[in-house]
Structure 1
Amino acid sequence: MTASKTNDRVGAVETRGIEPVPESERHGRAGQMFWTWFAANISILGLPLGATLVAFRGLNIWQSVLVAVVGAFGSFALVGALSLAGKKGGAPALTLSRSVFGQRGNAGPTLISWLSRVGWETISTTTAAYALLALLDTAFGVGRNTVLTIVCLLVFIGCTLLISGLGHATIMWINKWATVVFGLLNLVVMGFLAATVDWAKVLDTPAGPASAVVAGIGFIASGTGIGWANAGADYARYLPRAIPGRRLITASAFGAGIPLVLLISLGSLLSAGDGSLATAADPVAAINAMLPSWMAIPYLVAAFGGLLMSNHLSTYSAGLTMITLGLRVPRAAAVALDVVLMFAGGIYFMLIADDFYGPFSTFLTLLAVPISAWIGVIAVDSLWGRSYDSEALMDTTRTSRYWYSGGFRIPAVAGWAAAIVAGLLFTKASTSDSDVWFAGPLAHTWLGVNGLGWAVSMAVGAAVYALFGRRPGVADRDGATGSPTLQEVRR
């Protein structure tokens, strides 16, 4: 696709697609990443994560807080580190990935990333529609029916399309101000939820084993930052190259870490007295039941807004990923197509399917393995240092510098494939003890039982690529050179 002139200002439709942003059009500060990742993590879905630590992992509140701090801050520090490629190359994450995997080899990671984005969007959309239905029932006494369900889906999707369709500048502006509004509203709601905590039970809860703490950190990391690691560069690509990398990493870690630690810790507190939140099919209704009736409206507004903040980011990235896959349409049209799929998924899971969260959580558990494998390969390549050839990134023909061997860069693709196999060996995906979708032969081991197949995948991907890949500045035939990312981070 030929480069289009960007129109990156608030309220205007961003016309740039996946083509790299030239230095002359770069703008902004590292602090934008703080608001971006704060906005992505103020949704109520953080509460069930914390509840799970107590109900299923057997941790007490102090262990849960420790797990939340390490898992949330650590995983989003990784997101920040991987987003440095966006600052350096000026393109979305999966577009930059072409330089590592090859023009054809990059199709696999890109497809998996798009499926993951659509999956999370469907979860957010369906949960938000439930929140809006509950709000209408509470405020106006309007009961749920098929037509109203469809209307609620359309309202949320319309809001998502409006923000994501306008693009980068509008998203950055919305993130900052909406985060302040919904963040404060969430604090009020969280205060009332904290008042319902059975402190006697919380303080009497015994500590869990150290192994459960390690597994809990992996659980939180996989449920938070790991899911966004393949999108960080999408929002850093307009930033000037001169911004120190350490500021970007710090802003990302604190932007996501602050709301996540608060939400996860509160979820742990709530679950210590009542384990129903961890098993609730509809977390919106479960949390609403814990509040006084007059708090229902502020809570449901906060829930809707928080989910919208997360969803418009995911939808924006999904549109860029679709274009990277080869969809030859303007960026805004790609976003529109994505929300159509989101709407179809919402209708199916709200009006047709018997269960929603179980199957989708299982599906996303499986997708975490290939995404983690991609992260392992990309992390090593970033540490080695790589410069990006803008023309080669956009040239998908045999003339591209990133064509390699038949369109594939063998060390990266082989490392990714080997890592997927290794991760699946330790992975079990199921909706219940009797409904097992997939179970690897090593799923019964400690790593498998504690859901760390994704971590195995990341480690193997990094190791295989480190052994068989070539440093871009030394012998990689793409001719790319550049200072290692570690040097950028230390500036």
Structure 2
Amino acid sequence: MWFAANISILGLPLGATLVAMQGLNIWQALIVAAIGTAGSFALVGVVSVAGRRGGAPSMTLSRSVFGPRGNIGPTFVSLLSRLGWETVNTTTGAFVLLSLFAIIFGISSDAKAVPIVAIVAIAIFEGCTLLVSGLGHSAILVIQKWATWIFGALNVFVAIMLVSNIDWAAVGAMPGGPFSAVLVGVGTIAAGTGIGWANAGADMARYQKTSVKAARLIGASAAGAGIPLVVLIGLGALLTAGDNSLASASDPVAAIRELLPAWMAVPYLIAAFGGLLLSNHLSVYSAGLTTLTLGVRIPRVYAVTVDVVVTFAGSIYFMLIAGSFYGPFISFISLLAIPITAWLGVFLIDMIKRRWYDPVALLDMGRTGRYWYRGGIEWRAVGAWAAAIVVGYVLLSVGQNGIGWIVTFMVAAGIYAALGGARGQLRAPSDASASGTGTGAASADGREAIAEETRRA
């Protein structure tokens, strides 16, 4: 699942930024890519363990930590993250279709020169995304499995062609960047890869068998996403060694296509479109679950409509108004990485003590629920989350974005731990243990209750 979701061409511009903006050499870029991607997706794997234990989506499980009302803030940020990534994917996917239209119909590939065609491209990508994401969890698993092989092979083919454009002399002459630049690079890559998916880990793992070991979930996330991303990010860094046009392009799809032989254009565009679609439909699927967790009482079709309108408008801005793709892209992932990382710090400290989630209480938004705490808010968790966000944004404002997310995580985790950490029912009661659910899983009845609530919503 995570391999297929990370074989999109967005890895190439991330690699380009490491060289053009951070001044790293290829070895530093590869180290940064490995630490940033595998490390951040290992955290996604840890959150997946919570999904296996509780049988519920990430932000639903988060109610047990923050309280039903206290969880609104982290859940809203999670929804913003999903919508933001969908906008990035949709914009890039529309650029792919625009390039394909230019080849087939002989029109301009400049979105601003053909605005109507650009809007049609956005609509087509949105339609394909909704078609796949609406098929359900089981169908998505099958699609991701086969797509890993099909689009993975196409990407390898494209990568081989791109290697011929690398200026190896320039690569060998690249000076190394300072350690501070390496830290900034790790933060940028982590924020642009695993951190953005961290609060969706349990969404994908909630149907895992309770017999699956935690180490396997963590390893599958780290390796599944890390392998394709290190290759793509490394390739982007290599391509930028002698020419930084990729890092400054307003249309990254066209910039990469220019580096390929003419006969490779169509296979490349198909591979690019497929990779972006595989990431986007997972994001839409997770966004739907997050919207339900917010307690928005509207039919699902209306929630999807809001999703489409927001991402459609954002994509129009990127393609027809914004002068650069990378400036807003990097700013977006940097800004949202702070509150998501703060949530991670609190949630993971809670996981150290918690082995059980009350499946009935997770759906109980009333005052008598186990996770109501004080006024529906677990003030220690919310306070630690808010304090860490303030610290993170202060560091970001003074240009310390490389260590901002690290410090944010440590502050959130440290404050929450110092205040006593998790509180409430951390282990299954004796009756649940007797029925075989005391090892860390929600009861079968509880899983059915969560599934039924999702179906009715």
**Residues 103 and 40 of structure 1: CA distance in aligned 2, closer, same or farther (over 3 Å):** same
Q: Among residues 53, 58, 71, which one is paired with 1:88 in the alignment?
A: 53
Q: Among residues 94, 101, 117, which one is paired with 1:129 in the alignment?
A: 94
Q: Among residues 241, 246, 255, which one is paired with 1:286 in the alignment?
A: 255
- The answer for the alignment partner of 1:172 in structure 2 is 141
**Residues 355 and 194 of structure 1: CA distance in aligned 2, closer, same or farther (over 3 Å):** closer
Q: 1:469 is paired with a residue of what secondary structure?
A: coil
Q: Name the structure with the higher helix share.
A: 2
* Alpha-carbon distance, 1:126 to partner: 0.9
- The answer for the alignment partner of 1:481 in structure 2 is 427
Q: 1:387 is paired with a residue of what secondary structure?
A: coil
* Alpha-carbon distance, 1:255 to partner: 0.5
Q: Among residues 147, 151, 154, which one is paired with 1:182 in the alignment?
A: 151
The gaps in structure 2 that reach 5 residues or longer are: 430-438, 441-457
**Residues 347 and 280 of structure 1: CA distance in aligned 2, closer, same or farther (over 3 Å):** closer
Q: Among residues 197, 211, 228, which one is paired with 2:166 in the alignment?
A: 197
> C-alpha distance in 1, partners of 2:303/2:251?
30
What amino acid is the match of 2:413? A
What amino acid is the match of 1:362? S
- The answer for the alignment partner of 2:415 in structure 1 is 464
Q: 2:368 is paired with a residue of what secondary structure?
A: coil
- The answer for the alignment partner of 2:37 in structure 1 is 72
Q: 1:396 is paired with a residue of what secondary structure?
A: coil
Asked if the contact 2:183–2:403 (Cα under 8 Å) also holds between the matched residues in 1, the reply is no
* Superposition pairs of residues 329-408 of structure 1, within 5 angstroms: 329=298, 334-408=303-377
- The answer for the alignment partner of 1:453 in structure 2 is 404
CA-to-partner distance for each residue in 1:354-399, whole Å, 9 max, x for gaps?
Answer: 5554335423322211111001100111112241111111111112
Deviating more after overlay: 152-161 vs 378-387 = 378-387
What amino acid is the match of 1:106? N
Asked if the contact 1:376–1:458 (Cα under 8 Å) also holds between the matched residues in 2, the reply is yes
CA-to-partner distance for each residue in 1:257-307, whole Å, 9 max, x for gaps?
Answer: 110010011011111111121222211111111111111111111111111
**Residues 235 and 76 of structure 1: CA distance in aligned 2, closer, same or farther (over 3 Å):** same
Asked if the contact 2:47–2:348 (Cα under 8 Å) also holds between the matched residues in 1, the reply is yes
**Residues 482 and 452 of structure 1: CA distance in aligned 2, closer, same or farther (over 3 Å):** farther
- The answer for the alignment partner of 1:415 in structure 2 is 384
> C-alpha distance in 2, partners of 1:208/1:355?
25
Q: Among residues 119, 123, 148, which one is paired with 2:84 in the alignment?
A: 119
**Residues 332 and 241 of structure 1: CA distance in aligned 2, closer, same or farther (over 3 Å):** farther
- The answer for the alignment partner of 2:272 in structure 1 is 303
What amino acid is the match of 2:229? L
Between 1 and 2, higher relative CO (CA 8 Å, sep ≥ 6) is seen in 2
Q: Among residues 181, 202, 214, which one is paired with 2:183 in the alignment?
A: 214
Asked if the contact 2:248–2:324 (Cα under 8 Å) also holds between the matched residues in 1, the reply is no
Q: 1:390 is paired with a residue of what secondary structure?
A: coil
The alignment's TM-score, normalised by the length of structure 1, stands at 0.83
* Alpha-carbon distance, 1:329 to partner: 4.5
CA-to-partner distance for each residue in 1:214-262, whole Å, 9 max, x for gaps?
Answer: 3322221121111110001000001111111111111111110110010
**Residues 48 and 410 of structure 1: CA distance in aligned 2, closer, same or farther (over 3 Å):** same
What amino acid is the match of 1:465? Y
* Alpha-carbon distance, 1:171 to partner: 1.0
* Alpha-carbon distance, 1:139 to partner: 2.6
CA-to-partner distance for each residue in 1:414-466, whole Å, 9 max, x for gaps?
Answer: 10011011111100xxxxxxxxxxx2xxx15xxx1x53212211110000001
What amino acid is the match of 1:463? G
What amino acid is the match of 1:116? S
- The answer for the alignment partner of 1:9 in structure 2 is none
- The answer for the alignment partner of 1:58 in structure 2 is 23
> C-alpha distance in 1, partners of 2:333/2:18?
19
> C-alpha distance in 1, partners of 2:76/2:54?
21
What amino acid is the match of 1:373? A
* Superposition pairs of residues 263-274 of structure 1, within 5 angstroms: 263-274=232-243
Indicate the percent of aligned positions where both proteins have the same amino acid.
Answer: 60
CA-to-partner distance for each residue in 1:133-175, whole Å, 9 max, x for gaps?
Answer: 1111113313462332222111111110011112211111111
- The answer for the alignment partner of 2:230 in structure 1 is 261
What amino acid is the match of 1:424? Y
Q: 1:196 is paired with a residue of what secondary structure?
A: coil
* Alpha-carbon distance, 1:337 to partner: 3.8
* Alpha-carbon distance, 1:75 to partner: 1.1
* Alpha-carbon distance, 1:352 to partner: 4.6
* Alpha-carbon distance, 1:402 to partner: 0.8
**Residues 181 and 365 of structure 1: CA distance in aligned 2, closer, same or farther (over 3 Å):** same
Asked if the contact 2:9–2:276 (Cα under 8 Å) also holds between the matched residues in 1, the reply is yes
What amino acid is the match of 2:38? F
**Residues 343 and 139 of structure 1: CA distance in aligned 2, closer, same or farther (over 3 Å):** same
CA-to-partner distance for each residue in 1:100-152, whole Å, 9 max, x for gaps?
Answer: 00000000000011011101101110111011011111133134623322221
Q: 1:37 is paired with a residue of what secondary structure?
A: coil
> C-alpha distance in 2, partners of 1:453/1:249?
24
Asked if the contact 1:164–1:315 (Cα under 8 Å) also holds between the matched residues in 2, the reply is yes
What amino acid is the match of 2:9? I
The gaps in structure 1 that reach 5 residues or longer are: 1-35, 428-438
The alignment's TM-score, normalised by the length of structure 2, stands at 0.89
- The answer for the alignment partner of 1:435 in structure 2 is none
- Alignment root-mean-square deviation, CA: 1.9
What amino acid is the match of 1:411? R
Deviating more after overlay: 343-352 vs 200-209 = 343-352
Give the count of matched residue pairs.
Answer: 427
* Alpha-carbon distance, 1:482 to partner: 5.7
* Alpha-carbon distance, 1:333 to partner: 5.6
* Alpha-carbon distance, 1:331 to partner: 5.2
Asked if the contact 2:11–2:233 (Cα under 8 Å) also holds between the matched residues in 1, the reply is yes
Asked if the contact 1:164–1:316 (Cα under 8 Å) also holds between the matched residues in 2, the reply is yes
> C-alpha distance in 2, partners of 1:365/1:198?
30
- The answer for the alignment partner of 2:449 in structure 1 is none
